[in-house]
Structures are given as structure tokens and as C-alpha cells.
Amino acid sequence: MLLSINQNDLVLMLRHIEEKTGRSQSGTRLAPRQAQIDSGTGLSTDSDLVSVIDALGYQPDTFSIPNYVDHLRHALNREIDLVAIPFSESLSGAYVHAHEQDFIFYNMGKHPLIQNHTVVHESAHIVLKHQGYRVRGANLPDELAALLKNMVGHCRTRNAIGVEEQEAEQFANLLLSRIRQHSFRRYLVKTTNTNLFPPFDQL
Ligand SMILES: [Zn+2]
């Protein structure tokens, strides 16, 4: 499958990868990546994904984007570069694997809740060892198209389709609902002994 993305968005990502690794993308070689759960026979079930999330050992009550990604770096023993980018409105985020390194890009112009969802979604591609798609830009000049030759990635756009995209969404929904439950529980604990009449306590 091919992904088509806005040329400016692509240039922003390529420029970052080049700066970070000191290399252009033309020599990128990607190790073949195997799907961890199920080998292409369809979507994982919720309970498969819940076990994967459990195995990560992440404490949902400490969630923030940097904290979560830092946990993944240690738990998966991978270099993950987390990059906020002023992408165009149509792109929420992307995951790219290049030069043995993982890059999670997210659109810094989106609402913080969308940024959270995007980063957890993109991280799912790493955790679930998704194979990714070849990345292509629409109407790219030849030299840019050449840079992309061996690059594989995922993009989060409004109309993303495919088993890996659905699975990443499922993973993000499960993990984020766990995080929301914890913050609600924390709120309940905090409010147990709260004044019900003014002056109200600061929560
Ligand atoms: Zn995705």
C-alpha cells in the first residue's frame, strides 16, 4: 500500500530526520518487521491488545506525552525520537522508521487531546511491530522522491485505512480509556472529603 501525503509535511519530516541522523534518506535500509500478534489474518481482538498494554507495564496515572514515550524507550529498548511539527491541518501525525531509529511526529497545532491520541496511536505501530507502508508524496520532484525510496511509515490522516491503522486506533482507544479511568478515580479520591458548600476547595 502507498501513502500519499502533502509535500510540505513530508519535507518537514525528512529535514528533521536528516538533521538528527546526519544522513540523507537515500541510503535508508529497513529491517523487515514482523507483526507480533497475528500474521496478517485480520485485526487483533481487544483482549489481545489489553495483554500487550499490560505487558508494557505503564502506570496510567502518570500519563503525559513525554512521560509515556520515555517509558516506551525503556520498556522496548528502542530509540524513539518524539517530534512536534507544525504540519498542515490534514495530518495529525506520523511514524517513520529510518536509520534504525523510530520517529514519532505529531502536529503541534492540534488540540492537546488530539496530540495525546496521535502519539499513542503512532506508538502502537512500534509496540505492535507493524510493517508500515511505503511513503509517497503527491507530485514530488525527482530528488525528493528518491529520498523516500526505502522509507516506510504510517501517517494519521482523517481517512486512514487498513488493518494496521485500525489496530493502532484500537490500541490508542484502550490505553487512553485506561488513562481516563485513572484520572477520574483520582478526581473521586480528591473529592471524597471536599466541602460541598462554599467556599469550595481548589481541586
Ligand atoms: Zn497509524
31 C-alpha to ligand 1 centroid (Å): 19
113 C-alpha to ligand 1 centroid (Å): 16
133 C-alpha to ligand 1 centroid (Å): 10
Q: Is 100 strand, coil or helix?
A: coil
93 C-alpha to ligand 1 centroid (Å): 8
- Mean pLDDT over residues 132-160, rounded? 67
Asked whether residue 91 is assigned to any structural domain, the reply reads: yes
Stronger pLDDT, 145 or 24, i.e. the higher one: 145
Asked whether residue 21 is assigned to any structural domain, the reply reads: yes
Cβ contacts of residue 134 below 8 Å, gap of 6+?
A: 1, 2, 3, 148, 151, 152
Band of pLDDT at residue 72, cut at 50, 70 and 90: very high
Answer positive or negative: Cα dihedral of 54, 42, 104, 151: positive
pLDDT at position 24: 60
Band of pLDDT at residue 32, cut at 50, 70 and 90: very low
36 has pLDDT over 80: no
Asked whether residue 9 is assigned to any structural domain, the reply reads: yes
Partner residues linked to 101 by β-bridges: 98
Asked whether residue 191 is assigned to any structural domain, the reply reads: no
Number of domains present in the structure of the chain: 1
Instruction: Give, to the nearest 10 degrees, the angle between helix 112-127 and helix 163-191.
Output: 130
- Set of cell numbers at residue 176: 487512553
Strands of the sheet containing 133-137, edge to edge, are 2-5, 133-137, 152-157, 91-98, 101-107, 80-85
Band of pLDDT at residue 190, cut at 50, 70 and 90: confident
User: What is the rounded CA–CA span in Å between residue 24 and residue 192?
Assistant: 57
Q: Is 83 strand, coil or helix?
A: strand
180 has pLDDT over 50: yes
pLDDT at position 67: 96
Strand 80-85 to 133-137 pairing: unpaired
- Mean pLDDT over residues 138-151, rounded? 65
24 C-alpha to ligand 1 centroid (Å): 24
User: What is the rounded CA–CA span in Å between residue 41 and residue 62?
Assistant: 35
Asked whether residue 167 is assigned to any structural domain, the reply reads: yes
Which residue range forms the structural domain that includes residue 26? Answer: 2-185
Asked whether residue 83 is assigned to any structural domain, the reply reads: yes
- Set of cell numbers at residue 134: 511505503
Q: Is 182 strand, coil or helix?
A: helix
Return the number of other C-beta atoms located less than 10 Å from residue 39's C-beta: 7
Picking from 59-63, 153-157, 199-203, which range would have the lowest pLDDT averaged per residue?
Answer: 199-203
The pTM assigned to this predicted structure is 0.78
pLDDT at position 9: 87
- Mean pLDDT over residues 33-47, rounded? 57
Asked whether residue 157 is assigned to any structural domain, the reply reads: yes
Asked whether residue 30 is assigned to any structural domain, the reply reads: yes
pLDDT at position 192: 72
Return the number of other C-beta atoms located less than 10 Å from residue 115's C-beta: 18
